[in-house]
């Protein structure tokens, strides 16, 4: 394996692990939702328990992204989560808050591309 391929593989792995860590933090925050977070979900029109669904999906995405064999599935799930988060915020006219999930979505898309075509 040449030096470029090795660096590219390390970069792919680092990006995936950063994303996995992000989704662990997000999933944990949603699982242990503060009163403010629960109020956000209600304001957005979701049922009181929906933060648990979000938490489970985020933690699942984190685990799937962490392992090369399941990274594709995890990246697709993560993209759907971030699209849903951004859409929720846009629909509720919280445009500036939609920036963060859109940035994460771009990183997930890069991770997805690198997973599907590692030589690109």
Cα end-to-end distance, the chain, whole Å:
16
19 with 107: CB under 8 angstroms? yes
Q: pLDDT by residue (tens digit) across 26-82? A: 999 999 999 999 999 999 999 999 999 999 999 999 999 999 999 999 999 999 999
HSE-CB at 44 with a 13 A cutoff on CA atoms is: 23
Longest dimension (CA), the chain: 53
On the question of pLDDT at 1 being above 70, the answer is: no
- Look up residue 67 and give its DSSP letter: S
CA distances from 68 to 63, 84, 113 (A): 10, 24, 13
State the pLDDT confidence band at 117, using cuts at 50, 70 and 90.
confident
Q: pLDDT by residue (tens digit) across 7-33? A: 889 999 999 999 999 999 999 999 999
pLDDT score for 66: 97
pLDDT score for 46: 98
pLDDT score for 5: 85
């Amino acid at each position: 394996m040449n030096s470029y391929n090795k660096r590219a593989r390390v970069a792919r792995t680092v990006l995936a692990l950063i994303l996995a860590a992000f989704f662990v933090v997000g999933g944990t925050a949603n699982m242990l939702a503060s009163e403010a977070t629960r109020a956000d979900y209600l304001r957005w029109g979701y049922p009181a328990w929906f933060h648990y669904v979000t938490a489970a999906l985020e933690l699942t995405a984190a685990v799937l992204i962490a392992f090369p064999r399941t990274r594709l599935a995890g990246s697709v799930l993560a993209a759907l989560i971030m699209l849903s988060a951004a859409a929720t915020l846009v629909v509720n006219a919280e445009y500036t808050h939609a920036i963060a999930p859109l940035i994460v979505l771009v990183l997930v898309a890069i991770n997805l591309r690198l997973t599907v075509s590692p030589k690109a």
